[in-house]
Amino acid sequence: MGTVGFVGLGDMGGRMVRRLLEAGHTVVGYNRTRAKAQWLIDKGMRYADTPRMAAAAGDAVLTMVTDDHALEAVAHGPDGIIAGLRPGTAWAEMSTVSPGAARALTPEVEKRNAAIITAPVSGSPITLDAGQLSFIVGGDPAALERLRPYLLAIGPTITHVGEMEHAVAMKIAINLNLAVQMLAFSEAVCLAEKTGIPREKAVEAIMKSVVASPMVKYRGPFIFDMKPFFSVPMAQKDLQLALDLGRARGVPLPSTAVVQQWLTAARGLGLGDYDFAVVFDVLAGMSGLAPSKKSNAR
């Protein structure tokens, strides 16, 4: 069992640390707001006052932050992760960031005689808690092997897809599907309901049909009770990464562009703090239908 330096203890990062602790690993964790990490400290996590301290304490470093800006903030500077890396340390950067942000870390990490891979995840708090999270990995295979025991303590599936930026691009490509599928699901339910089919029966029929993807199965029920898993702004961040990458590579992404506008409408209606499944409420409202129950939203 090794020691893991973990930076970013939000909804996903905190759950990852819990699984690492349950697997017997020592975790030294940092979060911008210490109070949000208290439940992990109570479970045995050691707290680091800076990202540098977390990195210096670990045989491996794992990071799970929100975006490019957050990654830059924890990675660089005298109190950043890079400053704390010891020779031989391996770092798995698991955030959903731009390919350029991930690639830019490599030269500085290698100057410290350390290694870095990208390992963004596919899944949600539900799949993470169930032990079903999957990793998409890019970078040095040897570094992956050093990090594999820690990743497998979090989730059972690891797919190596190539270079550092390839894993991030693959994660972006996967994530654009989430909101696109949710919009299509919402259209189907609203259309069925407007013809007189009860909403519950419409959802039941979809869940038993060939279009019942895993995403639809766990997020579709949100239209009855909205869960606060992945907010509209976070979803829009990922969609914009996809649109930017598509423009740079000459790939049109028409459905991605459309659902981005629907989520902008959700924010305009004051629904930005809800899970992106709240796109259903935007469509339902325009169709003259009742919205979802939103008692569990942030």
- Contact criterion met (CB below 8 Å) for 118 and 62: no
Q: Is residue 296 in a domain? A: no
Q: Which residues contact 103 (CB under 8 A, 6 or more apart)?
A: 164, 165
The helix (H) or strand (E) run that includes residue 123 is none
Instruction: Please check whether residues 208 and 95 belong to one and the same domain.
Output: no
- Alpha-carbon distance of 189 to 257, in angstroms, equals 21
Query: Which of residues 129, 162, 195 is at a domain's end?
Result: 162
- Alpha-carbon distance of 9 to 99, in angstroms, equals 22
Q: What angle do CA 107, 113, 114 make, to 5 degrees?
A: 80
Identify the bridge partners of residue 128 per DSSP, sorted by sequence position: none
Instruction: Print burial letters for 255-269: b (CB count within 10 Å at least 16), e (below 16).
Output: ebeebbebbebbbee
- Alpha-carbon distance of 153 to 148, in angstroms, equals 9
Instruction: Please check whether residues 156 and 189 belong to one and the same domain.
Output: no
DSSP string, 130-173: TT--EEEEEE-HHHHHHHHHHHHHH-SEEEEEESHHHHHHHHHH
Instruction: Please check whether residues 257 and 222 belong to one and the same domain.
Output: yes
Q: Is residue 295 in a domain? A: no
- Alpha-carbon distance of 142 to 115, in angstroms, equals 9
Q: Is residue 292 in a domain? A: no
Instruction: Please check whether residues 26 and 157 belong to one and the same domain.
Output: yes
Q: 15: pLDDT confidence band, cut at 50, 70 and 90?
A: very high
- Contact criterion met (CB below 8 Å) for 168 and 244: no
Q: Which residues contact 219 (CB under 8 A, 6 or more apart)?
A: 178, 182, 185, 275, 277
Q: What is the CATH number of the domain that holds 54?
A: 3.40.50.720
Q: Is residue 72 in a domain? A: yes
Pick the more confident residue, 253 or 102: 253
Is residue 119 classed exposed, middle or buried when 0-12, 13-18 and 19+ CB atoms within 10 A define those classes?
buried
pLDDT at 293 over 90: no
Task: Give pLDDT, residue 298.
Answer: 43
Q: Which residue has the tokens 């029929």?
A: 205
Q: 153: pLDDT confidence band, cut at 50, 70 and 90?
A: very high
Instruction: Please check whether residues 247 and 133 belong to one and the same domain.
Output: no
Instruction: Please check whether residues 127 and 211 belong to one and the same domain.
Output: no
Q: What pLDDT, in 10s, does the model give residues 112-134?
A: 999 999 999 998 888 899 899 99
DSSP 229: S
Q: What pLDDT, in 10s, does the model give residues 30-83?
A: 999 999 999 999 999 999 999 999 999 999 999 999 999 999 999 999 999 999
Q: Is residue 205 in a domain? A: yes
Range of the domain at 117: 3-162
Instruction: Please check whether residues 34 and 150 belong to one and the same domain.
Output: yes
Query: Which of residues 138, 162, 186 is at a domain's end?
Result: 162
Task: Give pLDDT, residue 123.
Answer: 86
Q: 296: pLDDT confidence band, cut at 50, 70 and 90?
A: very low
Q: How many domains does the chain have?
A: 2
Instruction: Please check whether residues 141 and 181 belong to one and the same domain.
Output: no
Instruction: Please check whether residues 197 and 231 belong to one and the same domain.
Output: yes
Query: Which of residues 162, 189, 204 is at a domain's end?
Result: 162
Q: What pLDDT, in 10s, does the model give residues 201-255?
A: 999 999 999 999 989 998 999 999 887 788 999 999 999 999 999 999 999 999 9
Instruction: Please check whether residues 19 and 66 belong to one and the same domain.
Output: yes
Q: Is residue 77 in a domain? A: yes
> Would you report the helix, strand and coil content of the chain in percent, each value rounded to 5?
55, 15, 30
Q: Is residue 297 in a domain? A: no
Q: What pLDDT, in 10s, does the model give residues 251-272?
A: 999 999 999 999 999 999 999 9
Identify the bridge partners of residue 47 per DSSP, sorted by sequence position: 29
Residue type, 289: L
Q: What is the pTM of this model?
A: 0.89
Task: Give pLDDT, residue 161.
Answer: 97
Q: Is residue 262 in a domain? A: yes
Instruction: Please check whether residues 118 and 206 belong to one and the same domain.
Output: no
Q: What is the CATH number of the domain that holds 231?
A: 1.10.1040.10
209: helix, strand or coil = coil
Pick the more confident residue, 298 or 48: 48
Q: Which residues contact 110 (CB under 8 A, 6 or more apart)?
A: none
Instruction: Please check whether residues 209 and 233 belong to one and the same domain.
Output: yes
33: helix, strand or coil = coil
